[in-house]
Amino acid sequence: MPTTTRKLPCSPKADGSASSRSEHLIPTFLNHEPYFVGLRSGKKFPHGIVSFIGKDVSSEDIIKRLSLSPDQRESVVLLLVEYLQQLQSFKIGNVLSVSWSGVPKRLKLRLIKEHPSSSKKLPKLPK
């Protein structure tokens, strides 16, 4: 049975806050650089904000959205399964970064902040 999740990192706004118009992110798998890539745009992001997506998504669902050659597909599926498993240990709202380590490159998700910065000014309490 493939690994599934109901949460994926999403792209932050320029100020680092969460956005309702963001795209889902995956680590860059082919060159092992320390950033996320948007599934829709292919744009690079240094970090992502874990968000609830409302339905189960498997590694196969993500693979269908990528354009990979058959020889790349097998290695990327294994990395996606590892990615989805690591995501389970993080909470919705956590800000994550990605890194690679070791001789066979191993994916490592790292917590940057518990929650994103807020761009909204909160009202002050009366004196």
- Residue 48 β-bridge partners: 96
Report pLDDT digits (tens) over 49-94: 999 988 999 988 888 888 877 888 887 888 889 999 999 999 999 9
What pTM value is reported for the model?
0.82
Alpha-carbon 63 to chain mean position: 14
* Cβ–Cβ under 8 Å, residues 28 and 68: no
Tell me if residue 85 falls in helix, strand or coil: helix
DSSP-derived pairing of the beta strands 44-45 and 4-10 = unpaired
- What's 116's DSSP letter? P
User: CA of 74: how far to CAs of 39, 63, 106, 108, in Å?
Assistant: 18, 10, 15, 19
Report pLDDT digits (tens) over 85-127: 999 999 999 999 999 887 777 889 999 988 877 666 667 777 7
* Cβ–Cβ under 8 Å, residues 52 and 6: yes
